[in-house]
Amino acid sequence: MSKKIFALLLAGVMMLSLAACGSSSSGSSAAASKPAASAAASTSASGEAAGLTEAFAEYPALVTSGGQSADYQMIGTVMGKLGMDYTLNNLATSADLGDAKTLVVVVGGSSKGLGAAGIDADGELARLDELIKGAKDAGLSIIAMHTGGEARRGDLSDKFITPVFEQADYAIVVSGGNTDGLMTDICAGAGIPVDVIDSISDVTTVLPAAFK
């Protein structure tokens, strides 16, 4: 192979690699910080988000809410039945990370839940930002989940989706909540593997497979 042809091929590979990092600065930064998940799966040849193909997360896990809906409790119940090692804390901050190695954020906004927790949407966003930054600084893997389907979409829930999903190493989404492609588009743009499932019951298959 001539040096000229080799150089052209190398340039093409570099351009594809840059494209896979995503169009936004926050997405590019997040993708660069999660080599384990990106190595497992990033984007497909068509540019669509691809599913996870290799375990990357470790126990124990800290499970929290992203919007104070009851969805995080349902995920906790599923994980408990599966014998997964986790702690549930809907108001977790970086001070609560303890010995956790994986942070699971179950996104879904609930005005009733926010009221019961004594926090408003802006306060919840600030908590999530601080928690996720703390998790990243501590080297934790981050899994974003949206399992409430269409009923858990709308202005309130949508406030939490982008800031959480952009920072994830892996995402799980119930298809009914992603009819507009919002979450899969975020994942495809940032090179985040995402598994789209039919219902919350399918979490029993994909979530445990993410853990080593």
Extents of the domains making up the chain: 3-209
Percentage of residues in the chain with pLDDT exceeding 70?
Answer: 77
- Give the tens place of pLDDT for each residue, 138-192: 999 999 999 999 999 999 999 999 999 999 999 999 999 999 999 999 999 999 9
- Give the tens place of pLDDT for each residue, 50-60: 999 999 999 99
- Decide which of 5 and 193 is more confident: 193
CB of 113 closer than 8 Å to CB of 69: yes
pLDDT value for 42:
42
Instruction: Give me the chain's average pLDDT, please.
Output: 84
Average pLDDT rounded to a whole number, residues 67-87:
97
Q: Please compute Rg for the chain using Cα positions.
A: 17
Let me know if domain 3-209 sits in CATH 3.30.420.
no
> CA 42, 66, 62 angle in degrees (round to 5)?
75
Among 90, 52, 64, which residue's Cα sits nearest to residue 207? 52
Q: Is pLDDT above 50 for 18?
A: no
pLDDT value for 49:
77
Window from 32-46, 81-95, 102-116, 130-144 with minimum mean pLDDT: 32-46
Percentage of residues in the chain with pLDDT exceeding 90?
Answer: 76
Average pLDDT rounded to a whole number, residues 98-124:
98
Q: Is pLDDT above 70 for 6?
A: no
Window from 30-44, 63-77, 121-135, 189-203 with minimum mean pLDDT: 30-44
- Give the tens place of pLDDT for each residue, 21-69: 333 323 333 333 443 433 333 444 445 779 999 999 999 999 999 999 9
